[in-house]
Amino acid sequence: MHPKIDKIIRVTCCVIMSYLCFSVSVVAEVDVVRVAVFQGDGVGPSVDQLIESIQNSTNRVFTVKRISAEEIQSGKLSNVDVLIHPGGKGYSQAKALGPEGRSIVAEYVFNGGGLLSISHGTYLATNDYPWSLNLVDVKCWDNEHWQLGNGTVTLKLSPTAALLFGQKNTNRITMYFDQGPLLKRREMSDDSIPGYQSLAIYDSEIAENDASSGMMKGTSAIVRSRYGKGRVFCFAVHPELSNGLGNLTPIAVNWLAPVTDPFEIEKPEITQVVRRHVPQDSSGGIAVLVTRDGMPIHRKAYGFVNGQHLTSQSELRLASVTKQYTALCAVQLIEKGLLDPQEKVSSYLPDIKIPVQGRELLVQDLFWHTSGLPNFIESKEQISIAEFKKERGLSELNNETHAEWLETLPARRPAGQMYEYTNSGYVLLTRIIEVISGMKFHDYQQQNIFNVLELTNTTDSTRFNGSGNMRTTLLDYEKWDRALWDQDPRLLTPEGYKMLFTPGVLDNGEAVAYGKGWQVTIQDQYLVIAEHGGAGSGTIAARNWIRRHYDDNTTVAIFAQEHPQLNRNKRQALVRDIYNALHD
End-to-end CA distance of the chain: 27
Residue 567 makes CB contacts below 8 A (sequence gap 6+) with 535, 543
User: What are 230-241's pLDDT values in tens digits?
Assistant: 999 999 999 999
Q: What is the pLDDT of residue 16?
A: 40
Alpha helices in 37-89 (DSSP H): 47-55, 69-73
User: What are 494-526's pLDDT values in tens digits?
Assistant: 999 999 999 999 999 999 999 999 999 999 999
Q: Is the pTM of this model over 0.85?
A: yes
Q: What is the pLDDT of residue 29?
A: 38
For residue 224, list its beta bridge partners: 197, 233
Q: What is the pLDDT of residue 156?
A: 97
Q: What is the pLDDT of residue 46?
A: 95
User: What are 61-85's pLDDT values in tens digits?
Assistant: 899 999 999 999 999 999 999 999 9
Does pLDDT of 10 surpass 60?
A: no
Residue 153: name the closest of 133, 174, 132, 168 by CA. 174
User: What are 238-260's pLDDT values in tens digits?
Assistant: 999 999 999 999 999 999 998 88
Mean pLDDT throughout 341-356? 97
Q: What is the pLDDT of residue 144?
A: 67
Q: What is the pLDDT of residue 142?
A: 67
User: What are 436-459's pLDDT values in tens digits?
Assistant: 999 999 999 999 999 999 999 999
User: What are 93-117's pLDDT values in tens digits?
Assistant: 999 999 999 999 999 999 999 999 9
Q: What is the pLDDT of residue 385?
A: 97
Kindly indicate the confidence band of residue 2, based on its pLDDT and cuts at 50, 70 and 90: very low
Does pLDDT of 19 surpass 80?
A: no
Mean pLDDT throughout 161-177? 92
Does pLDDT of 8 surpass 60?
A: no
Distance of CA 411 to the CA centre of its chain: 36
Residue 522 makes CB contacts below 8 A (sequence gap 6+) with 503, 511, 513, 528
Residue 455 makes CB contacts below 8 A (sequence gap 6+) with 449, 472, 476, 479, 480
In order of 217, 247, 248, 543, the CA distances from 220 in angstroms are 9, 20, 16, 31
Residue 177: name the closest of 131, 122, 128 by CA. 122
Q: What is the pLDDT of residue 7?
A: 44
- Which of 13-17, 137-141, 431-435, 563-567 is most confident? 431-435
Residues in the chain: 584
Q: What is the pLDDT of residue 537?
A: 77
Say if residues 243 and 174 touch (Cβ distance below 8 Å). yes
Residue 421 makes CB contacts below 8 A (sequence gap 6+) with 369, 375
Q: What is the pLDDT of residue 155?
A: 97
Q: What is the pLDDT of residue 110?
A: 97
